[in-house]
Structure 1
Amino acid sequence: MFTPLITHDLDGAALAAPVNAARCNGAAYKTRTIDDLRIKDDRLRAAIEGTGHLLFDGGMGTMLQAAGMKAGALPELLNFEEPQVITDIQRQYVEAGCDVITANTFGANAHKLDGAATVADVFAAAVTCAREAGARYVAGDIGPIGALLRPLGTLSFDEAYDLFAEEVRAGVEAGVDLFIIETMTDLAEIKAAVLACRENSDLPVFATMTFEEDGRTFLGTSPEVAAITLDAIGADVLGINCSQGPAELRGLAARMLTVTDKPVMVQANAGLPRVDDDGNTVFDIQAPEYAEAVAGMIEDGVSVVGGCCGTTPAHMAALRTLIDNHTPSPRHRKPSMSVTSAQTVVDLPCDGHKIAVIGERINPTGKKRLQQALRDGDLDYVVSQGISQQEQGADILDVNVGLPE
Structure 2
Amino acid sequence: MTDSLTRLLSERDWLLADGATGTTLFNMGLELGEPPELWNTEHPDRIRRLYAGAVDAGSDLFLTNSFGGNASRLRLHKADSRVAELNRAAAELAREVADGSGRKVIVAGSIGPTGEIMSPMGTLTHEAAVAMFHEQAEALKDGGADVLWVETISAAEEFRAAAEAASLVDMPWCGTMSFDTAGRTMMGLTSAQLSSLVEKLPNPPVAYGANCGVGASDLLRTVTGFLASGSERPIIAKGNAGIPRFEAGHIHYNGTPDLMADYACLARDMGVRVIGGCCGTMPEHLRAMREALETRPRGNRPSLEVIAEHLGGFSSVSDGTDDAGPTRERRGRRRG
SS in 1 for 2:196: helix
For 1:17, the equivalent position in structure 2 comes to none
The residue number in structure 1 matching 2:190 is 222
Q: Confirm or deny that 1:247 pairs with 2:217.
A: yes
Q: Secondary structure at the match of 1:59?
A: coil
SS of equivalent to 1:127? helix
- SS at structure 2 position matched to 1:104: coil
Secondary structure (helix, strand or coil) at the match of 1:257 reads helix
In the aligned structure 1, how far is the partner of 2:275 from the partner of 2:295? 14
2:131 to 151, 159, 162: 162
Verify: 1:149 aligned to 2:118, yes or no: yes
- For 1:102 and 1:317, the matched residues in 2 are separated by 17
Q: Does 1:192 align with 2:161?
A: yes
2:242 pairs with 1:271? yes
2:289 aligned partner: 319
User: Identity percentage over the alignment?
Assistant: 33
Q: 1:296 to 1:127 in 2, by over 3 A?
A: same
Q: How does 1:281-320 map to 2 (within 5 A)?
A: 281-320=251-290
- Aligned-partner Cα distance in 1 for 2:20–2:57: 13
1:302 shift after superposition: 0.7
Q: How many residues end up aligned between the 2 structures? A: 292
Q: Is the contact made by 2:236 and 2:275 (CA closer than 8 Å) also made in structure 1? A: yes
Secondary structure at 1:78 match in 2: helix
TM-score, with structure 2 as normaliser: 0.81
Q: Offset of 1:213 from its aligned partner?
A: 4.4
| Structure 1 stretch displaced more, 160-169 or 71-80 | 160-169
Query: How big is the alpha-carbon RMSD for the aligned residues of Structure 1 and Structure 2?
Result: 2.4
TM-score, normalised to structure 1's length?
Answer: 0.67
Structure 2: unaligned runs, 5 residues or longer: 100-104, 302-319, 323-336
Residues 155 and 213 of structure 1: is their aligned pair in 2 closer, same or farther, counting only changes over 3 Å?
A: closer
Secondary structure at 2:98's aligned position in 1?
coil
Cα distance between partner residues in 2 of 1:103 and 1:71: 20
Residue 121 of structure 1 corresponds to: 85
Cα shift readout 1:181-209 (whole Å, capped 9, x = no counterpart): 000111110111012112321x3211000
1:68 match: 29
Matched, 1:132 2:93: no
Matches within 5 A, 1:6-405: 37=2, 39-40=3-4, 44-47=6-9, 49=10, 52-114=13-75, 115-116=78-79, 117-134=81-98, 136-201=105-170, 203-233=171-201, 234-259=204-229, 260-276=231-247, 280-325=250-295
Shift of 1:318: 1.7
Pair member with larger Rg: 1
- In 2, the alpha carbon distance for the partners of 1:211 and 1:219 equals 9
Compared CA separation, residues 344 and 250, structure 1 to 2 (3 A): closer
Contact preservation (8 Å) 1:46, 1:52: no
Report if aligned partners of 1:55, 1:100 keep a CA contact under 8 Å in 2: yes
Q: CA deviation at 1:295?
A: 1.4
Letter in 1 for 2:92: T
When residues 291 and 344 of structure 1 are mapped into structure 2, their CA distance, relative to the original with a 3 A threshold, is closer
- Kept in 2, the 8 Å contact 1:50–1:303? The answer is no
How far apart are residue 328 of structure 1 and its match? Answer: 8.9
Tell me if the contact between 1:287 and 1:315 (Cα under 8 Å) persists in the aligned partners: yes
Q: 1:214 to 1:50 in 2, by over 3 A?
A: farther
**Aligned counterparts of 1:323 and 1:344: Cα–Cα separation in 2:** 30
Judge conservation of contact 1:205–1:235 (CA < 8 Å) in 2: yes
In structure 2, give the amino acid aligned to 1:137: I
Per-residue displacement from partner, 1:251-308 (whole Å, max 9, x unpaired)? 11011022111000110001122345x5754310011111102211210111101111
Q: Which moved more, 1:83-92 or 1:109-118?
A: 109-118
> In the aligned structure 2, how far is the partner of 1:154 from the partner of 1:210?
22
Distance in 2 (CA, whole Å) between partners of 1:162 and 1:327 is 46
1:101 and 1:167 map into 2 onto residues whose CA distance is: 18
- Separation of aligned partners in 2, 1:267 and 1:143: 14
Of stretches 153-162 and 116-125 in structure 1, the one that deviates more from structure 2 is 116-125
Q: Which residue does 2:325 correspond to in 1? A: none
Q: Which amino acid aligns with 1:120?
A: A
Letter in 1 for 2:179: F
